[in-house]
């Protein structure tokens, strides 16, 4: 069911996601946090799903949902994109902000990184200002322990006023306590709703009372009830001039905003005048945006500020500094660093992987090593698999003929469909089964963001965004994922360049074909270990050529049809993490290898059937295949090919989808 709230003045958030509840009383829980804090891992562990996770920022660029339960209460978990702030500057931050602030979920789980908690608390405070029904999940406690970082959860919980839970999501430790925290905040929500209903009822009775004594008694009753259920304390206190403006603005905003948004948060954001947020207010809170009373009050307040020499930039800076100082205060005494040199090893590795002198050579050597292992390791399994599958072809054919199957049908199924599938499996499966785990190990180790960092300077010289380096790295795994990942690029111009050029990066599905071509045409005469090294070097050269083509086309587009100045790029380099090899192998085989192989088989089976039919059905003195190649031959000659090659290209075209 959707979460449309037109009845209270809030339009349903257009986030491309329809919330689906299994039961009417299921609660909708938003899962928020900075990029690369293990948010998707928490989501997977709680829902039993398999969202793609990785040790680099920007893995989640759209909302995903799953179902979780503590045995009694059901929860629809919504994994929203990681963001550093609700003051949206990119598409993923807009998706996160809109869902948290305007979709009004029943509660929010804010996932933080235990190794850099102070920075993460900035987002926690922003979310708590908009929605007090939150649970803070301090993840990666295993890494914090290794780095001798101690966190006093009782102190943080007392200062924040919401449950604070320590977890290690990769092993599932502490996740059960999240359900307890959710129950606490949801119970508080129920109490507050009941208190509001009683207040409204008793206030109505007081208004309708004809005798003054009854009205006074009713008001006292309301006061007593409110005292028993006090409003949540205000975590964020702005400078006096901003607090005074919020107080003036609150009554007017409250009249038009409805019940689905935090009034204090909305008043503060209206005063901040962030353009992206104002656009969201106009979209989801139209009555507020169109209110003449609110507009006139805002104008009066800004005029008064101008008379006092307070600029809009100063207001925004003062608001931002409040969150920073509050985060510092929260961590004081609550987070203890027993070892001040805990990140020394990371800094040493970064000097090797990201320096101008060693960054690119190491990157090329790692690339060469991965391809050498892929090619060398795939040779023998591929031969073994091919021999086994083609031995099985004869047995299957004998079995079909013995069962009385017509010869034509036997040839169609065995020599047409099965033979093509055998070739596809024997060529594609071994290289993918080796490359995917190696690629995932580099991803989980934290090396891919360093590749993006090294390439940032190159993309900036091409007047493109440095984030394009991240989407290009995603393209090595899958071009479709790389194009979807382009949402993290703010500028439409730079986003379009990244999408257009992503196809120059060969995805892993093309590697088996490239390896086969290199083996047949370039290293067929070489022998021994040199053959594998040469194959790996040529494949690495093809990858480098793809990167260079990406840069060249980006430069040409930026200088011609898509002119513009490159935008700034801030990249978070995640800590180096020891990959969980067992999980990496399983995830790579089931999520990537078998998935890509399944897509290839789905295309290869009907293609094999069509090719066999065209090769065996004759029209006149030639087969359909010969007629087609003859028809295409004049067109193929224009581009330096012949009809047979062009026909093969056309028959293989569906696989490129």
Is 161 marked as binding a ligand? no
* 40 in Cβ contact with 79 (< 8 Å): yes
Burial of 277 (C-beta count, 10 Å sphere; 0-12/13-18/19+): buried
* 334 in Cβ contact with 151 (< 8 Å): yes
**Residue 250, number of CB atoms within 10 A of its CB:** 16
Contacts of 291 (CB under 8 A, 6+ apart): 252, 253, 255, 256
Is 35 marked as binding a ligand? yes
Is 561 marked as binding a ligand? no
Q: Give DSSP secondary structure letters for 305-329.
A: HHHTT--HHHHHHHHHHHHHHHHHH
Nearest alpha-carbon partner for 277 in 264, 287, 267:
267
Q: Is 385 left (phi over 0), alpha (psi -120 to 50) or beta?
A: alpha
Q: What are phi and psi of 626, to 5 degrees?
A: -65, -40
Is 36 marked as binding a ligand? yes
Q: Is the dihedral of CA 238, 242, 245, 246 positive or negative?
A: negative
Is 262 marked as binding a ligand? no
Q: Which two tokens stand for residue 480?
A: 């479709």
3-state secondary structure of 370: helix
* 343 in Cβ contact with 270 (< 8 Å): no
Is 574 marked as binding a ligand? no
Is 37 marked as binding a ligand? yes
Is 363 marked as binding a ligand? no
Q: Which two tokens stand for residue 340?
A: 């001040």
* 370 in Cβ contact with 515 (< 8 Å): no
Is 82 marked as binding a ligand? yes
Helix (H) / strand (E) element for 264: namely helix 263-272
Is 47 marked as binding a ligand? yes
Nearest alpha-carbon partner for 156 in 34, 330, 327:
330
Is 479 marked as binding a ligand? no
Is 34 marked as binding a ligand? yes
Beta bridge partners of 618: 623
Centroid of chain to Cα 601: 28
CA 452/CA 57 separation, integer angstroms = 11
Is 44 marked as binding a ligand? yes
Nearest alpha-carbon partner for 411 in 616, 206, 210, 597:
616
Is 80 marked as binding a ligand? yes
Is 502 marked as binding a ligand? no
Helix (H) / strand (E) element for 32: namely strand 27-33
Is 104 marked as binding a ligand? no
Is 33 marked as binding a ligand? yes
Q: Which two tokens stand for residue 156?
A: 């943080």
Is 147 marked as binding a ligand? no
Query: Per the annotation, where are the binding residues?
Result: 33-40, 44, 47-48, 79-82, 139-142
Query: Per the annotation, where are the binding residues for Mg(2+)?
Result: 44, 47-48
Query: Per the annotation, where are the binding residues for GTP?
Result: 33-40, 79-82, 139-142
């Amino acid at each position: 069911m959707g979460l449309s709230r037109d009845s209270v003045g809030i339009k349903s958030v257009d986030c491309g996601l329809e919330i689906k509840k299994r039961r009417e009383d299921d609660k909708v829980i938003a899962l928020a946090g900075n990029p690369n804090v293990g948010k998707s891992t928490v989501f997977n562990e709680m829902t039993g799903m398999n969202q793609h996770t990785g040790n680099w920022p920007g893995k989640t660029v759209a909302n995903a949902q799953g179902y979780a339960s503590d045995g009694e209460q059901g929860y629809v978990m919504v994994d929203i994109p990681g963001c550093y702030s609700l003051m949206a500057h990119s598409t993923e931050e807009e998706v996160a902000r809109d869902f948290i602030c305007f979709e009004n979920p029943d509660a929010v789980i804010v996932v933080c990184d235990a190794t850099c908690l102070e920075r993460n608390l900035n987002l926690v405070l922003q979310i708590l200002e908009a929605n007090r029904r939150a649970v803070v999940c301090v993840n990666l406690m295993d890494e914090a322990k290794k780095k001798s970082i101690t966190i006093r959860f009782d102190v943080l919980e007392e200062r924040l006023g919401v449950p604070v839970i320590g977890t290690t999501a990769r092993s599932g430790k502490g996740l059960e306590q999240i359900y307890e925290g959710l129950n606490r905040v949801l119970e508080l929500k129920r109490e507050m709703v009941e208190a509001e209903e009683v207040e409204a009822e008793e206030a109505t009775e007081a208004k309708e009372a004809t005798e003054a004594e009854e009205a006074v008694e009713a008001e006292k009753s309301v006061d007593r009830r409110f005292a028993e259920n006090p409003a949540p304390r205000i975590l964020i206190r702005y400078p006096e001039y901003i607090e005074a403006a919020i107080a003036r603005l609150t009554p007017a905003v409250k009249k038009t905003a409805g019940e689905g948004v935090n009034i204090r948060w909305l008043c503060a954001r209206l005063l901040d005048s962030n353009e992206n947020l104002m656009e969201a207010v106009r979209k989801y809170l139209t009555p507020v945006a169109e209110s003449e009373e609110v507009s006139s009050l805002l104008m009066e307040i800004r005029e008064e500020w101008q008379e006092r020499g307070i600029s809009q930039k100063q207001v925004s800076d003062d608001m931002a500094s409040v969150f920073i100082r509050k985060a510092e205060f929260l961590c004081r005494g609550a987070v203890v660093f027993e070892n001040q040199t805990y990140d020394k090893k990371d800094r040493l590795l970064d000097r090797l992987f990201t320096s101008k002198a060693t960054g690119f050579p190491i990157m090329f050597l790692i690339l060469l090593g991965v391809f050498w292992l892929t090619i060398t390791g795939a040779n023998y399994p591929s031969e073994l698999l091919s021999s086994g599958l083609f031995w099985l072809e004869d047995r299957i054919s004998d079995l079909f003929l013995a069962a009385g199957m017509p010869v034509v049908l036997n040839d169609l199924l065995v020599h047409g469909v099965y033979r093509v599938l055998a070739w596809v499996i024997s060529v594609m499966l071994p290289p993918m089964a080796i490359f995917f785990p190696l690629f995932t190990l580099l991803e989980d180790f934290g090396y891919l963001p360093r590749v993006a960092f090294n390439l940032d300077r190159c993309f900036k010289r091409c007047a493109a965004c440095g984030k394009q380096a991240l989407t290009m790295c995603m393209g090595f795994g899958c071009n479709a994922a790389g194009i979807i990942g382009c949402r993290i690029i703010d500028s439409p111009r730079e986003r379009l360049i990244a999408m257009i050029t992503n196809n120059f990066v060969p995805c892993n599905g093309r590697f088996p074909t490239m390896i086969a071509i290199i083996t047949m045409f370039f290293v067929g005469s070489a022998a021994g270990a040199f053959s594998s090294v040469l194959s790996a070097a040529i494949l690495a050269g093809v990858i480098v050529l793809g990167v260079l083509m990406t840069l060249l086309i980006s430069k040409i587009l930026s200088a011609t049809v898509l002119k513009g100045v490159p935008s700034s790029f801030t990249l978070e380099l995640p800590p180096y993490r020891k990959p969980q090899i067992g999980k990496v192998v399983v995830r790579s085989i089931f999520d990537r290898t078998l998935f890509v192989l399944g897509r290839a088989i789905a295309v290869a089976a009907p293609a094999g059937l069509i090719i066999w039919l065209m090769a065996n059905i004759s029209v006149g003195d030639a087969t359909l295949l010969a007629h087609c190649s003859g028809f295409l031959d004049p067109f193929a000659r224009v581009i330096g090919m012949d009809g047979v090659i062009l026909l093969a290209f056309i028959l293989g075209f569906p696989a490129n989808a």
